[in-house]
Amino acid sequence: MNTENTIFGFFIILALTLNFGFFIGEIDNPAHHNVYELFAAIVVNLMAMLMKLGARKQTGAILLATSLVANLQLIAAALVWTWALYISGVGMTPAVMVGIVSLAGGAFLANVVSVILLITENFVIDH
């Protein structure tokens, strides 16, 4: 067992599960989407992306690309949340929440692709 691969896989799967936890629920109900879970998803996704920077294989480049997509969408979701609550004065309306959760859903899909690539790469290496 390779400790580095274990830690790498841990962060990628934690990023997926945190993002899923934020994404799941009624799409327009702010009570179903915790801001701290979004924050945790952003932090873990950034950490996972930093770990992918050292990868030299072709799949490493694709893993990095999926992380960039996930981070971009999660940060956009946080910016929409901040804009609605503290800058524009619109507040957390159902339409704003739908936008935030949709962005997190895109990041969730990127996280799923990342985990599939990780599993595929490990399966190919083992066989």
pLDDT top residue among 1 and 11: 11
Quote the mean pLDDT of the chain.
93
Residue 56 confidence class, pLDDT cut points 50, 70, 90:
confident
Find all residues with CB under 8 Å of 91, minimum gap 6, and list them. 84, 85
